[in-house]
Structures are given as C-alpha cells and as structure tokens.
Amino acid sequence: MLKPHNVYHSNTSSTKTLFPVQNIKPFFHGSGYAFLPLPSFQSSSFSKSSACSRKAFKTGFAPPSKVIRAAIAKDVYGGNVEAATSTLKALVTVRQTVGGFLTNLGLARGLDDIQDLLGKSILLELVSADLDPKTGLEKETIKDYAHRVKQEGDDVIYEAEFKVGANFGEIGAVLVENEHHKEMFLEEITIDGLDDGPLNIKCYSWVHSKFDNPQKRIFFTNKSFLPSQTPGGLKRLRKEELEALRGDGQGERKTFERIYDYDVYNDIGDPDSDLSKKRPVLGGSKEFPYPRRCRTGRPRCDSDPQSEKKSNIFYVPRDEAFSEVKQLTFSAKTLYSVFHAVVPSLQTAIVDSDLGFPYFTAIDQLFNEGIDLPPQENQGFFRSLLPRLIKAISDSDNALRFETPDTMERDKFFWFRDEEFARQTLAGINPYTIQLVTEWPLKSKLDPDVYGPPESAITKEMIECEIKGYMTFDEALKQKKLFVLDYHDLLLPYVKKVRELEGTTLYGSRTIFFLNPDETLRPLAIELTRPPMDGKPQWKEVYQHSWHASGVWLWRLAKAHVLAHDSGVHQLISHWLRTHACTEPYIIATNRQLSAVHPIYRLLHPHFRYTMEINALAREYLISADGIIETSFSPGKYSMELSSVAYGLQWQFDKQALPADLISRGMAVEDPNAPHGLKLTIEDYPFANDGLVLWDIIKQWVSDYVNHYYPNASLVQSDEELQAWWTEIRTVAHGDKKDEPGWPKLETPEDLIHIITVITWVASGHHAAVNFGQYAYGGYFPNRPTIARRNMPTEEASEKDWEFFMNKPEVLLLLCFPSQIQATTVMAILDVLSNHSPDEEYLGEKPEAAWDVNPEIRAAFERFNGRLKEFEGIIDGRNADRKLKNRNGAGVMPYEFLKPFSEPGVTGRGVPYSISI
C-alpha cells in the first residue's frame, strides 16, 4: 500500500485519540492494511519488509513495527494522532506542443504575467483507493493547485503540495482539472513523500479545458485490477470513466473529446462536391459488410442523406492523436505533408495525367535526376520534412528525386525475372494470398449464367508440358507441388464496371506455380478472363513461357496484369482491410468496455497507439473518392467496394491467427511433431518460417500475462468488463459478421490468450510483414505496377493494335504500366509508409509502466524481450543459409520484415507494437 509519512486528515475538524497500544486493532480493506508511520523514524526496523503476513493480521497479531509506530505517534502527538500530517509533493510534467496549451498561453509575456497566469492552471485531487471504514463511503479528495517551477527542454514542470492524513490510505487515482481555456498534454505525475517511494503515474494524455468540459480527468495509478478486485474507493470512478468514454451517441464530436463510438463507412464519398464522388455505404448491410469505424457525428450530405459531409477537420478521440506530440519527423506528419505538398506539386509539374514513361531509362531518371517541382512557400521546411524525397538542386529549386530501392541496388533487373516474381509470393510484401491447389480442374464459384463457363482454361496438358522430367501432373497434385494466385472470382464481377472508367482495364486472373525440388517456385501459366459483356461472350486466354519473341512479350504483359491485381489485393485487403480497418473497432470496444485499470486494457493499449488517426488520414486522402487508391490502383472507384466484398467472402476472426491462415490456404497442416505444431507445405517459406516463431513468442508473453491475472476459468467468466468487451467486438464492432463462424468463445484463460494473441499479431507482425517493405518492392514500380491501363493485344485486337505490339512491344508494356503521375504519387506515398519514425515503439523493446510495477509481469516481459533478441539472431542465421534460396542468393533481398527491432528510416525491418503508419 502507498502510505503518507505522517498522520492527518485535512477534511476532519474533530480530534480523535488512538486506543491504548494494547487495544489497537488493524484496519483491513482490499489487499492491504493501514498504519501510522512517522517520517522521523526511517530505520530498517520500521521498513515495509518487516510487515507480517495477511494471515497474522487475520488472527489478531499486528506487526510489531506497525504497533510501535502507532505508539510513538500517540506519544509524540499527545494522543491526537489525526493531527499528524504528511506533506506530499506532486510534480506534473506538461509537454509544450505545436498548437496546444503552452503555445496559446504566450510564453513571450512578461514574467509576472506568466507567473500569475500559470499559478492556478492545474488543479490536482488525490483520490484514496479505500473507503472510509466508519461510513463505508468514499473518502474526501485532497486538493491543491500546481504552480510552475521550471522548464526542462520541451517539458514544463509544475508542483503541488498536499497535507495528507495517515487514514487517507493508498492513493488510487489523481483527478486533474485544466483551469485554462486551452488543452494541455500531460505526460506524467510524480508524487514524492510516500513510505514506499515515489509514485509515478504515466499519463501521456490530452487534458481538456474545464471551459470545454467541466468533467475532471481521471488518472489511475499503475496498479491493475479486475473489476471484482477494484478497491472500493475507485469503483465509482472506474464506472464513470467508462460511461464518459462511451458518450451518448448524439451530436457532432468536438476535437477535445475522448468519446469512442461506432459508425459505418459513410464518409468515403463526397457527393456534395460532385455527384460522381458518391460512394456506397460500407457496413450495416448484407451487400456491403464492413468493420465499423469511429463515429464523428458530422452532418449528412445534402445530395445523399446516407453519406457524411466532408470536413477539413476529422475527429478521432483526443488521445488517439499524435501529430502535435510526436516529433516533427514522425511518419504520419510526413504523410500529411505528402498529401498536401508533394502530390499537388506533382500534379502541377506533370500536366498530362495520362502521360506514361516513353522508355525505361525515363523511369531510371526518377532516381538519378528527379522531377523538378514548382517553388514552395517554405522550401527549407519542405526539404527538412522529406529529406529522402526532396533534394536541393539550388537555393531556389526543389527536385523530387527518389532513393533507389534496395532491390534495385542489389539487382537492377530483379523485377524482370520470373523466379523473382515467384519468390515474392513467399517473401515479398503480399505473402498472404498464395495457396495450394487441392482440386482440378480449377473452377469458378460465380454464376455461369452471368459470368460464363466456370472451368479454367489451364489444362493438365499445359502443366505437364512444363514439369515434364520432374513428375506427372497427377503426381504433382498429389504431392502438393502446385500453387495458385487466384484473383478470378474476386475481380471478375468488377471487370465490366472498371472497364467503363477512363484509363484502366481489368481481368479476372489465375497464376499457377510449381514447387521445384530446391523449394523455389516456378510460374507455369497465367490465365486472364473477361466475362460476357457488351454482347460479347466470355473471353479467356492462357499465357505461358515461350521461346518465341511474341510469346515472351505476351507473357510479360500478362504478368504485368497479375502484378497489378496483386498490388490491389495487397493494399486493399492484406494491408488496409485485415490490419487497419479490422483493428479500429477493437480499439473502440476496448476503450468503451475495459477500464484503464483493467489488466487486459493495459496489455492491449500499446498495440493500439495512433491507429485511429492514421486510419482517419487514410479515409481523408488514400481511400476516399478520387483519392490516391482510386486514381492509382486497378479497381479505381470500386476499390473500397471490392474491399467490402473481400471482407464478406473471406474474413473470419479465427483465420487471422497465423497458423489458421496458413492451414486455410493449404500452406501448412497440423503436426504435433513439427516446430510450432505445423508442417509447412513449402519448407522455405520465409514469411511463414519467421512468422510462426514470432507468433509463438507473442503467444508465450500473452500466456504469461493472462495466466497471472486469470489463474482459473471462473475469473474469466465472471469478469463483466471482459465479457462485455468480447460481446461488443462480435456483435457491434464486427457486427456484420456476428452470425458467421469463426468467433471463439470466451470462457477460459486459454480462450482469452488466443483472442489477445490474434489481435496483437495483426497489429504487430501481420502489419509489419505487409507494410515496411513497400518501398523496397514497390519503389521501382515495374516490379509491382498498381494499375494496368491496356488490354492484352490478343483480346480482339485490331490489325493496327497487333501491328503496334509487333513493332513496339516494349512501348506497349510501358503504356500498360501506371502513368507518370500515378507512379510518382504512389512511390512518394510508399516511401513514407515504409518509414520508421525516430521514436518508433517496437514490439517488446520497452515495458509499459503498468507492467513494470508488477514483479511477475516485469519478469515475463524480460523473457519476452530476450526471446525477441534471440529471434533476431535466428533471422540472421536463416538469411545466411545458402540452402534457403527464397531468402539467400545473388542479388536476392534477405527476408527481414519480421525482424523485431530497427533504426529509424526505410530499413525493411522492425515490428512496431501498433499500426502507426
């Protein structure tokens, strides 16, 4: 228990006398006990280490040291023990921010003026964790105003002083009231003068002005409690804080608020500015199911009452914002600047939006010479913010000159090679879609009356011709040697719609691979399909390797289409949907249903930092109508609609677990004798090999943590906050999936461990695997074009089209690739998305304050950290192993996306706790 050194209750006017020493009986409440220590007696004989066990208390034998202290207190104060007081000092650290509290205060004012203004800017109230033993009611809080004492760098320190009585008990929370008209960012509160040493409360939170909201902010201490174990003095606060965070679901949210509520994706379109920007509502319907986002309460559009109006200010709960607190180089701040400065500058510099690259050397110039940008108002700021992109040519000019991706540095022709195309399905940035072929022939599940014959045009004979000398087709199928990228059924329903858009085209596609004896994949065939449309029947064609020039170029063109499909699926499904969009409702549910003192809240909190704001930025600029995704990726204006369809068809909570994902794709089978309990279908599968190690490390940490707080199933079942949290995730947060399979029960510690491991894996390992390599593999866009702009020349081409292909196949490939504005815009975005901030928070690197105060949790975290460091060595060893050809070879990129730690910058490694970019 945290106890003041002296004995006094500031709110008690009457004088009370202790019973004689021999009649003293200890006071019990919760997990601790109260006694009356004195500051002048600090010898070891009075230390807390001499306290007897709880059992001794229950049998009536008080600890000798505590009895002595009480006797001395009576003797010193003449029996008026209540008059004995302890002076506690609280130091409050407030961060100066770009636009917050201190800046608006005006530090340039005269010293007296500032001192007067700051003298009563922060009101603190100490809250006892204990109830009054006589009345059974909460004890009165002890208050004081904090005054400014010094400044340390960007931090301003305030000090408050409290006179605390011994019967105040343990400090359970601090209430904070911001007396000024502007918000402030509160970093921490440290209380000195306690018997157990300083009490440090990490806040890292915005505190609203009392003129905006009179409700005081509550900051609990670092101790964690299940609801049933909450000290009596904190029960009301615990409940009221959750109620405040939920809000009432009414009105437009204000920027200073901390309210977490749900809404559908009805803010992607902007029909009031242009009816062509109207987009369907995602979520809340069978046609377009989707995870929920944070409710903003903005008014509805005039032209479409189902859609929400656009605004220059987007709401996220205040503590989810980072832009004014994080360093200026923080990636999201940079991303915002790319949207507002780089992209408009590119649009000015490249007038013709359809202009492609005339030859491949023109693409190389992006890295050597760059693109001259128009003058900026603040060029120095512009260049310092984007040092990797904006290079100074002269004092008056800016050039957008891209860093050469590591892949290009290693092998300039990496993107051209088929073996690299295949390798990236296992070790690239989208290792989540390749799957085992289990049935033949490949067959569509779409309605044949609408989409044409369902059977694939890829035949046994085609496959057997390619693998002759290794085995027969039937042997390959039986021995699990055939794999497929299957985007046929997902994309085919959108082919007609997309082709009606300008400057793009689309096919349904299937790509077949064969597993070589050395565990590398060999692409065998690509099938492109167009459904019946415009009075024409279904068209499909299979492209294979050829020793003839025309066949070679047709293969390259077909591969460009497949890569565009893979880029769209990666960005919209593997990346945005499965990590960003599906995690946001977990964050909302956690803040609505789990108190800040709940141990599971504190376990999950680092995995949720800044995700909601980065998602809001994405809704504003990336996935919005005519945003970067729509204008630069193959599905065009149907991109988010396609993401919704994928959510409805593919997403299940249980399959977000890495082992279950691998099994569902036929990439692994359960095997209790194999490492991690799984036998991989492709042994050299870098993402799976590293991912399973990281999955097990995370699961072990979660197991240690959960088992500490939930030693038996009854505690899980009786935890009303936890049960409400899981119910809300299933029925509201992912409400469109509530009646579908895949939701585990929450009845045992093992159930909870699995659920938490899934959520934390998605936010850390899954996101890192699909995000931080984007510039390495997409920075040279011919390797991963985001859009295909020309049909295959074999699809009903005129003689003129065919003649053009025969004479200029390279030009046709360049015309199929993204335009200059599309390519450079995406490259700039990918560079920022792949970047680690200097203050990145990596998985298992540093413990949370709440973990540190519990010795068992601290020890478990240290084991977690040790396993992660050992894992780094495992990855280095694998990348050095010449037998592992999917991660080692001439010009081959090592696989480091799941390597836990990283230095700042675009490094291609590092696993942050959360989806913060």
Q: Do residues 385 and 837 make contact, with C-beta atoms less than 8 angstroms apart?
A: no
Which alpha helices (DSSP H) does 212-255 contain, by range? 235-246
Residue type, 688: A
Question: Could you tell me the CA-to-CA distances from 374 to 337, 343, 399, 628 in Å, in that order?
Answer: 15, 12, 9, 21
How many whole angstroms separate alpha carbon 835 and alpha carbon 754?
Answer: 30
CA pair distance 429, 327, nearest whole angstrom: 28
Read off the amino acid at residue 405.
Answer: P
What does the angle CA 21 – CA 26 – CA 27 come to, to the nearest 5 degrees?
135
Give residue 446's identity as a one-letter amino acid code.
L
End-to-end alpha-carbon separation of the chain, Å?
A: 40
Q: In what order do the strands lie in the sheet with 142-152?
A: 199-207, 184-192, 85-95, 155-165, 142-152, 122-128, 171-178, 217-220
Question: What does the alpha-carbon distance between residue 649 and residue 573 come to, in Å, rounded to a whole number?
Answer: 12
| 741 touches 734 (CB < 8 A) | no
Give the DSSP per-residue string, 702-724.
Answer: HHHHHHHH-SSHHHHHH-HHHHH
**What is the C-alpha separation between 813 and 808, in angstroms, rounded?**
9
Separation of alpha carbons 678 and 694, rounded Å: 14
Q: Do the Cβ atoms of 749 and 707 come closer than 8 Å?
A: yes
DSSP letters for 389-409:
TEEEEETTEEEE-PPPPHHHH
- Sign of the alpha-carbon dihedral angle for 293, 294, 297, 298: negative
CA–CA–CA angle 841, 843, 846 (5° rounding): 65
- Please give the positions annotated as active site: 575, 580, 767, 771, 917
The one-character DSSP state at 745 is: P
Task: Quote the CA–CA distance of 611 and 316 in Å, as a whole number.
Answer: 10
Contacts of 737 (CB under 8 A, 6+ apart): 289, 651, 652, 653, 730, 743
Strands 85-95 and 678-680: unpaired
Task: Report DSSP letters for 111-148, one per residue.
Answer: HHHHHHHHTTSEEEEEEESSBPTTT-SBPPPEEEEEEE
Contacts of 869 (CB under 8 A, 6+ apart): 900
For residues 842 and 868, give the distance between their C-alpha atoms in angstroms, rounded to a whole number. 11
In 401-481, DSSP assigns E strands to: 435-436
Beta pairing partners, 202? 188
Q: Residue 646's Cα: distance from chain center in Å?
A: 20
Backbone angles phi and psi of 78, in degrees to 5: 60, 35
Burial of 161 (0-12, 13-18, 19+ CB in 10 A): middle
Per-residue H/E/C for 792-825: CCCCCCCHHHHHHHHHCHHHHHHHHCCCHHHHHH
Write the burial class of residue 55 (CB in 10 Å: 0-12 exposed, 13-18 middle, 19+ buried): exposed
